[in-house]
Structure 1
Amino acid sequence: MTRKLHIVSSVGDVTERIWWSGTPYAIWQAILRRRGDVETHNVMLGYRLQRIIGWGNALLGLGKYNPTRVGFGHALSVRRAQAIVDKAGAADFLHIGSAHLPVKPRPGQRHWMFTDGSVFFEIVNPNNIFARYPGHRRELVKHERAMARQLDGVFTTADYVAQSFIEKDGMPPERVVPVKSGLGHILPDPGVKDYAGGYILFIAKQNFIGKGGRLLLDAFEIVRRERPQTRLVIIGNVDDVTQQEDLPRMQNDAAIDFYNYDTPEYRTLLAGATLYAGPADNEPWGIVYLESLTVRTPILGLAHNAFPQFAADGAYGFTAEAATPEAVATAILDALSDPDRLARMGAAGREHVLAEYVWDRVVDHILSRYPEQAA
């Protein structure tokens, strides 16, 4: 008899598109196309409860950052997930997100997780909360290592995350499977584009500094000294606290066009860009890079996390040599210096992404680890 597959998510309801760039929804839909015995569970804590827990964690010296991953918030998330596991009996589980892990598996169960990040790559980021709250760091490391011992395996988006689970958490290589991801939006092919007179694009609904927004603004000032005609389009979020300090210069600079993330022109702006510049030092994956390539827009970033995988040694993007305004500006000026090269890279990037980053392929990898259920 076919065993039930449970999808347990701590990043939002998988039946809604709004969470994590639509990733949980896309996985759920692709699984449904192959089998119908899927039960979904949302164990994410509500935002009001998260704020209360965050203040409690701060009093314990854990900081308010990520309240569902440490302290009482993590314990509550695990308790919710454990109740689902205990009730299910012999069944298979796909966990999306790690805030509700580790759980204790029951006999006859198989547990895998889909993730885009690892604790150890958060730790090395000098801008992260760990620098101020070592207790936060210790709890995250403890939870991830316990999770690695109890899970049957992990599906990762990026190759570098897979290596982290193997090298830092001690997981056997056969239990760590990099599967990439699909796309949030597959936009129509824009065809011929103006790479000589277009604009640079940057998008951040949240985590503006971590995604490279402030670094890009500083680099853009240098770029304009060499190319005064260059324009920058930013799709941001006026309500995001990480953008408040930089909002005045984004909204008042004549060379910068600022749009809120809910603009109806989002897709048009993405398709019309000459270059997507996202010099992020805290972006574990970055579906926006892939979406940019689908509309023939080459990408620019730092040699961090998944960006080198997306840029493919310069085939589809440009890498700044350091996380400094000068290095980012140099990379931007290099990119804009050759419109014909941008056109070639954009065409090749679209073809590559549409072939390699497909949700059905991701789910085929996932279901292959539940062999008696695979199509």
Structure 2
Amino acid sequence: MTSPVYNFSAGPAVLFRSVLEKAQSELLDFANTGSSVMEISHRSKEFERVNDETEADLRALYNVPDNYKILFMQGGATAQFSAVVYNLIPGGKSQPADYVVTGAWSEKAVAEAKGLGAKVNVVCNTKASGHNGSVPPVSEWKFSPDAAFVFYVDNETIHGVEFPEFPFDAVPAGVPVVCDMSSNILSRPCDVSKYGVIFAGAQKNIGPAGVTVVIIREDLLSRKSPDFPCPVCLDYKICAANKSLYNTPPTFAIYLSGLVFKHLIAIGGIGAITAHNNRKAEVLYDAIEKSSGFYRCPVQPAYRSRMNLPFRIYKDGQPSEALESLFVKEAEARRMSQLKGHRSVGGIRASLYNALPLEASAALAAFMTEFAGKHA
């Protein structure tokens, strides 16, 4: 390779090079076993050590309280849309579950819950605005006082909407908050004690696709209702009781996630990666703002994501798909990949997950300025 490839993929996403090199060095002989970590038993002492260290390092990174369990589950984060219904509605189909809808993934969560027969109450919904971050004031949110939980997505990957801070104080007393944190977990500080459940697919900020992290408060492990018969592989209580080993876990994905956690600790933890991520986002938003309307981010400034930056290119007052296609093509020629926007919204999207270097944002910003100079 004569120059680096800057991978702006929304997921599976870029991984730290040093982590990949570490995995490469151990690929054929892990821990002097003479085998790959993918070839050893998930019940061996060698993998048990991997599993335990991975959990301990995540607990340290996020200061996870002792009364929370950390689970490594299969099925991707989308499977958790069903899992929270199966596990967390003790009142069954008569008890409401509250959902805050700010983008495509929270919409999908609502659809999944309704499909299972749950009584869904939509607290607020930004679909009418195209999910552009026009979140109504909390005073207008319509919570259920007896809700089984309040569900929200912290960062909407497709629409680029991220909560600067969730309004926990507005949630009715005793109602646990459930959060899909797939696309911004470990990217900034998080007070885990404010949540009932946090879950996140690994393939953006944690590791490779194949494992989903679930952080759950212990008192929520026994809330299942016979109205929602829970598949054994989605049962939080069984998973916790068996240290995520009831079913053969995605061993390589857990191992590589553990290497990522160790890397984050080594570079200074959440504080260091937060500063890194903030700077990457600032560089690109600055390029958009300085383009005199050539580039436009559709998301309201207060809710703009630091992880996923969607934008359109405008010509004569209208979005130009021709210029956007040209932009993506020329960016790829400069070894900047995966910039095409999600098929449902179009445009361009730059994903700036933890492992993406600052140099990538700087290179993209420089190209944006040059491209606008030619075509504005």
- The two structures have a TM-score, normalised by structure 1, of 0.31
- The two structures have a TM-score, normalised by structure 2, of 0.31
Give the number of the structure with larger relative contact order, counting CA–CA contacts within 8 Å between residues 6 or more apart.
2
